[in-house]
A and B are shown apart, each in its own frame.
Chain A
Amino acid sequence: MTIAVAEGLTESLAVEHRGGFRRRWYRTPSFVAGVLIIGTIIALCLLAPVLTSHSPTDQDLNHILQGPSSEHWLGTDQLGRDEFARILYGGRVDLRVAFLAVLFPFVLGTTLGCIAGYYGRFMDTGIMRLVDVVVAFPFYVLVIALVFALGPGARSIYIAITLVGWVSYARILRGEILVAKRQEYILAAQAAGFRDFRIIVRHLLPNVITQAIVYAMSDIVLDILAIVTLGYLGLGIQPPTPDWGGMIADGQAFLTTKWELSTIPGVVVVITALGLSLIGDGLADLLRPE
């Protein structure tokens, strides 16, 4: 009976979240603005082959450092490559890597946070000391050092961001589970002899995952900035694949004569980060229990 009530309570909470979300998302201005910005950027990047006939990697050494024209909307770079095409195709790469790079630390951090919070004792102590050690390193220093050790490229970015980024999710989940596991429906599930895995996945996670999801949205902003920074330093996405960070670095040499080469990719990064931040803020409002 108690178990049935516990199952029902968990389900109803989840339904309430989903129902509330569906009812209210369009009335949350920051969420709508964020979705519009990111939706537009993603659509532009996906429609790149339709919007431009230029390849992002084809060089045209007879037309280097051209200003904006009907042929090249944002001009060309030092190798005669079309800037508009490079921004669109670069967005495809950077956004894909950023969205994937947030998934791995989310899964690892959530798993370790659940273990630390649910089992406590030496599991908790061990995992939280590991968190303390990782947190001791500045984010960029550790990511740069790890990418150096692993070698540049998307694979290294995923590994480095996962090894550094999981700690925030672990902290959030541990804190939430420490409170939730003392609730009556969890005690009832334990008394009924349910396996720990079932209690964590079916009963605890649906009630504690919200904060981690909200944090993930702000984490994508950090990941985008890290990917662009690594690209700028020459440690991220490798040429000739276009990347916003690499474009800023390439343009820096022509700052006095062609300032737009570095400025425009940076503005695109700022707008993307703003869109993601707005979605994050909106999600925090929407998923907050009423």
Chain B
Amino acid sequence: MDRFAYILRRLVQAVPVVIGVTVLVFFMIHLVPGDPARTMLGVHATPQKVAALHHEWGLDKSIPEQYKLFMGRLLHGNLGDSLFYHVSARDLIWQRLPVTLWLIAYGTVLSVLIALPLATIAATRKDAVRDQAVRVVPLIGLGFPPFWLGIMLLLAFGLHLGRHFPVGGYGDGLFGHLNSMFLPALTVALGIAPILIRSLRASLLQVLESDYITTARSKGIPERRVLLRHALRNAVSSTVSVLGVNIGFLVGGTVVIEQVFALPGIGQLMLNSIFQRDFPVVQGVTLVFGIMVVLVYLATDVVHSLLDPRVRFD
């Protein structure tokens, strides 16, 4: 199968998943106990307002008709109006999306920068003290609640060990963003780095025992060059895959971390909207997160196929 056909096949496979994502998000409203409109309006519920919401959300229609209405609006980019801000939920999400994308990208880069050297250090001396030390990192690291890790980083680098980084906010300009978002991105990175270290170490160990590495060594190529030019290149391919598979975990972590660091992203918007009982915004953010992850899975598969041509023949 050539590259184009592979990408096309993956695109076609993503379509039913995206439709499934919309169905699941659509059914969220029906999980709300009792009358969803009355529950969301809370103390502000009057018969007129409840009836208006029923009509707007289509709750006075049958389920298939409701879904048709939901999809019709969605295809026109209409996620409904915020009950709290009284503006389009799409506009609210659109304004805050760049912050979340920044955090995801920055966190991903930092996680690779942490995992790559540690995994290399461990794999080049299997079972040595440094390998044992690195192997402890995933064991402990995976048990850290992401938000608590953020609070501890704030405590250390934002308050007690000198005020090196801002304790909240998004910053202005590229360097402002890089500086302001360092601690949140580091928190995101530390959440996923243990998984990457474990995977990259295992891949490197496998690659370092393969015949072509033995051949390279027997030709007298310096160990550093064998590692950087031959081993890492192949090991990174499977790590991209692991990163892609776990990107959902990383993206989910940003919701809570935005709250800890007061970042005005869609995660914070979702949590604020939950406390304001603003259902259309919560529903819209959930949908955006779901579609974002499907797109990342797709991109990961394409990148993996470019790094490792064997993938396309599966």
Contacts and interface: CB of A to CB of B under 8 A. Distances in A.
Interface of A: 129-130, 132-142, 144-146, 148-151, 221, 225, 228-229, 232-235, 245, 248, 252, 255-256, 259, 262-263, 266, 269-270, 272-274, 276-278, 281
B290 A274 contact: no
B143 A145 contact: no
Contact of A134 (B16, B24, B146, B147): B24
B142 A136 contact: no
B23 A133 contact: yes
A149 B31 contact: yes
Contacts of B31: 146, 149-150
Nearest to A278: B139
Contacts of A138: 248-253, 255, 289, 293
Interface in B200-254: 248-253
Nearest to A151: B33
Contacts of B32: 149-150
Contact of B147 (A151, A248, A278): A248
Contact of B286 (A142, A228, A233, A248): A142
Nearest to A259: B155
A266 B293 contact: no
Contacts of B286: 137, 141-142, 145
B47 interface: no
Contacts of B154: 255
B289 A266 contact: no
B146 A133 contact: no
A138 B139 CA distance: 22
A129 B290 contact: no
Contacts of A259: 155, 160
A262 B148 contact: yes
A140 B256 contact: yes
A279 to B, nearest CB: 12
B interface, how many residues as a size bin?
35 or more
Contact of B159 (A151, A252, A256): A256
A174 B280 CA distance: 36
Contacts of B143: 221, 225, 269-270, 272-274, 276-277
A130 B17 CA distance: 8
B249 A263 contact: no
A144 B252 CA distance: 10
B111 interface: no
A234 B275 contact: yes
Nearest to B138: A277
14 contacts: A138-B255, A146-B28, A146-B31, A148-B274, A228-B145, A235-B274, A248-B145, A262-B148, A269-B143, A269-B148, A270-B143, A277-B142, A278-B139, A281-B139
Q: Across the A-B interface, give the 6 residue pairs with the lowest CB-CB distance, nearest first.
A: A273-B143, A138-B252, A133-B20, A140-B252, A266-B148, A149-B31
Contact of B253 (A132, A140, A255, A272): A140
Contacts of B92: none
A141 B252 contact: yes
B289 A141 contact: yes
Contact of A141 (B29, B148, B255, B297): B255
Contacts of B147: 229, 232, 248
